[in-house]
Structure 1
Amino acid sequence: MTAQRRFVRRTVLAVTASVAALTLAACGNDGDSKASSGTGTGTETGTGGHNAADVSFSKEMIQHHRQAVEMAGLAADQASSTQVKSLATKIKGAQDPEIMTMSGWLTSWGEKVPQAMSGMGHDMSSSAPGMMSDADMGKLEKASGTEFDSMFLNMMVEHHKGAIDMAKTEKADGKYKPATGLAADVITAQSAEITQMNKMLGKS
């Protein structure tokens, strides 16, 4: 009986000590968690926070991409070159998903996604580099055959150059890793397409 009572006593003491240790640890962690969560930045599961440059890039590039997709959509019926049609399909296939991705970022940041300007004029974001004017888009819509091919390629080269400028700014000033990563992808992909289009135009 004595040995049993000693065993029970030792067990009770051990449990009491464990509870006390856990209580102290909880108090310490509570203070740490308040300190680490108070900034409100850099908490997005390893991607880091975002800044004003990320927001501007996303909003402007959405409109920029929308115009490129609109231009590419004309090629199916108006282009004569199978190469132009294939390139237009590639551009649309790449930029449509990027529009959705950037729209998702803006929504998650509590920002408004730019309104689609279809049917309200083509000069959707005149402040963004490389954007075509209403007059440019009107000419492209009326062109067909080889005239369309040449006009489309020349316009898209300038459009791509504008997108690359925007992407370089985002890489330099942006904070949100997925956005700066997308910017790097835009630079790589659209630089290669500029080279391709210049070759199609007979330029070195």
Structure 2
Amino acid sequence: MKRHPFAALVAAVLLLAGCGATAEPKGQDDHNAADVMFLQMMLPLHAQGLELTRIAKERTTRAEVRDIAGELDAVQRTETEKMTGWLTGWSQPTAMNGDPSAHEHHGGLHQTSPAEIEALAKAPEADFDTTFLNLMTGHLHNSVELTRSEIEGGSNQQAKDLATTIRESRGKEIARLLSLVGQLPAR
């Protein structure tokens, strides 16, 4: 039986089209290593932020500091749920490689040190608000820095949108924190 050369081409196209139908769909589930790294690095940063806001809500005596701590807490909880959900949906671990040298090629770990968090928890009452505002300002700056790799190298649109939102909102929150530092009474 003689086949027409065009029939082989049609069969090849249909075979390839069938293979493509079983591949992971593009769109919300499409992701790359930059997306995974961004989320895995942002999750522990958010956990630290939640610890900072918890301490602030317990220790501050100023309503405006308690308010911003509450707002930051709520935003980071919502973002944590999203990021955890995406990683889980992509069958990726939510924890990153904890070895600091493993992250040197992209600027290292952008985190607040445990010693800084402990110092905040133990700060004298008279110094607490200034200590919190300064530490949280640096912490939020770390979040902004971390968004760069996602915005430049990520492929998942939701993760890139989250990175853009974090960059913009944390910039505004940093300005607000710095204005509160300027309003604190001099000692």
TM-score by length of 2: 0.79
1:61 corresponds to which residue?
Answer: 42
Counterparts of 1:175 and 1:28 in 2: how far apart (Å)?
30
Gaps of 5+ in 2: 1-10, 97-102
State the Cα deviation string for residues 74-119 of structure 1 (Å, max 9, x = none): 112211211110000000000011111111111111111229xxxx
Higher Rg: 1
User: What is the CA-CA distance between 1:144 and the residue it aligns to?
Assistant: 4.7
**Counterpart of 1:202 in 2: which secondary structure?**
helix
Contact 2:29 2:90 in 1 (8 A): no
Residue in structure 1 matching 2:175, options 182, 189, 195: 195
Name which of structure 1's ranges 70-79 and 143-152 shifts more when overlaid on structure 2: 143-152
1:100 matches 2:81: yes
1:36 matches 2:16: no
Counterparts of 1:37 and 1:180 in 2: how far apart (Å)?
26
1:185 matches 2:165: yes
Contact 1:78 1:144 in 2 (8 A): no
Amino acid corresponding to residue 91 of structure 2 in structure 1:
G
Residue in structure 1 matching 2:65, options 78, 84, 91: 84
Amino acid corresponding to residue 55 of structure 1 in structure 2:
V
Amino acid corresponding to residue 20 of structure 2 in structure 1:
S
**Counterpart of 2:182 in 1: which secondary structure?**
coil
1:18 corresponds to which residue?
Answer: none
User: What is the CA-CA distance between 1:29 and the residue it aligns to?
Assistant: 8.9
Contact 1:68 1:92 in 2 (8 A): yes
Gaps of 5+ in 1: 1-26, 116-124
Counterparts of 2:112 and 2:16 in 1: how far apart (Å)?
53
Which structure has the higher relative contact order (CA within 8 Å, separation 6+)?
2
Contact 2:35 2:150 in 1 (8 A): yes
1:147 matches 2:148: no
Counterparts of 1:151 and 1:68 in 2: how far apart (Å)?
14
User: What is the CA-CA distance between 1:145 and the residue it aligns to?
Assistant: 3.1
User: What is the CA-CA distance between 1:174 and the residue it aligns to?
Assistant: 0.4
Counterparts of 1:146 and 1:47 in 2: how far apart (Å)?
48
Counterparts of 1:90 and 1:132 in 2: how far apart (Å)?
19
1:127-146 matches, within 5 Å, as: 127-129=108-110, 131-146=111-126
Counterparts of 1:111 and 1:200 in 2: how far apart (Å)?
39
Amino acid corresponding to residue 128 of structure 1 in structure 2:
L
2:6 corresponds to which residue?
Answer: none
